[in-house]
Amino acid sequence: MVSRTALIYSPDFSSFCYGKEHPFKIQRFRLAYELMEAYELTSLPCARIFDCIPAEEGDLLTFHSHSYLSKLKEFSLSDEPRADFRYGLGDIENPVFPGLYHWARLGAGGTIEAARLVTEGGFDIAFNLAGGWHHAHRSRASGFSYLNDSVLAINSLLQKGKRVVYLDIDAHHGDGVQEAFYETDQVLTISIHESGESFFPGTGSEKEIGSGKGKGYSVNVPLKEHTDDALFMKAFDEVAFPLIAAFDPDVMVTQLGADTFRTDPLTRLEITTHSYCYVVKKLKALKIPWVAVGGGGYENINVARAWTLAWAIMNGIELPPRLPARFIKLIDSLGYSNRMLLDAMHWAEDDDRNRALDAVEKSISAIKKKVFPIIIGAYD
């Protein structure tokens, strides 16, 4: 049976800029959409394209504070540089730029709409390219994130009585989402990420398992640098997949960041399209109403390839391994030399891989000991 899918994208994304020297390039959304168009994935019979509608303030207030939103609005209207470090605003990481509040509301609105589409709109899967701002806190911007769209969308689902699993495969720990649901058993959060021991945001240990009613419902698999495709799939297969299946949520929300790729300039993991596609295919096989959001990725062509592949898998389409000539012509003009959509499976160097294997096995063992009895025991 063919899935009904929705892709959420706005041409307005290109109207904003974090700054020429900032590692987050908004251009990546356009490149992803251009690659989908080049593969004719934006005109599929069972898929629809939706524009982003900015989130309403009432939705934002289900997580964010009045004072923080007021500061975002104030700074967004200013033509001069502004900063307020109490709210994480105005530093190199989280710059203030004209239209900031509207930009953040676009991404948040897209994810809230995706949640509506899979619960009320008759869609099986909805993918918001400009979602995935998992570092935003209640009253503080962090990690390029101003509004936490996944938290807002999950709150809208909780208001409908839904139980939700949140899976984050970005290279960075989904700290803002974990924080929001750390004490509830209605949301199972799972994050597979590069270890925070010497990496932003410094959280996401396997020891962080939730508290109170939420004990056992926060799950973290920290990965040592140089974790490769096989180890990434191992973490997913031995932790995430069985926990999601046991919890059996009403809705699944996944953050599909592409900064885990071995050529990303900000991270130290070594995965490729091989394990990325493996995970996305297994998620689709669960047949759970699915809200997908973008997330990190600081090599633009990696992002375009990853999200195009994810969208193709969501729609049951196998793509050829080479990039379309139309897209190659576009990226040539931008200085990119990429020619291939797919990567071969990658294995890290032996010494690096052995250290990464030891670390992931230690984390998996701890999770199976402390978390599995709670989740699998409760829903078996």
SS3 277: helix
Cα 115 from Cα 290, distance rounded (Å): 8
Strand partners, 140: 137
Closest of 48, 41, 42 to residue 4, by C-alpha: 48
Tokens found for residue 205: 């240990």
Dihedral sign from CA coordinates of 112, 59, 31, 340: negative
Give a three-class secondary structure readout of 257-280.
CCCCECCCCCCCCEECHHHHHHHH
Residue reference for tokens 């982003």: 52
Cα 107 from Cα 53, distance rounded (Å): 8
Strand partners, 253: 166, 291
* Catalytic-residue membership of 135: yes
Closest of 216, 227, 231, 286 to residue 253, by C-alpha: 286
Order of strands, sheet of 47-50, starting from the edge strand that comes earlier in the sequence: 47-50, 5-8, 125-128, 290-293, 251-255, 164-168, 187-194, 218-223
Listed in order, strand segments (DSSP E) in 19-71 are 47-50
Strand partners, 251: 164
Instruction: Give Cα 175 distance to the centre of its chain.
Output: 12
CB 270: neighbour CB atoms within 10 A?
Answer: 26
Cα 155 from Cα 112, distance rounded (Å): 9
Cβ proximity of 146 and 134 under 8 Å = no
**At residue 155, what is the residue type?**
N
Cα 270 from Cα 15, distance rounded (Å): 33
Q: One of 135, 137, 173, 226 is an active-site residue; which one?
A: 135
Closest of 245, 182, 183, 256 to residue 372, by C-alpha: 245
> Which residues are catalytic, by number?
135
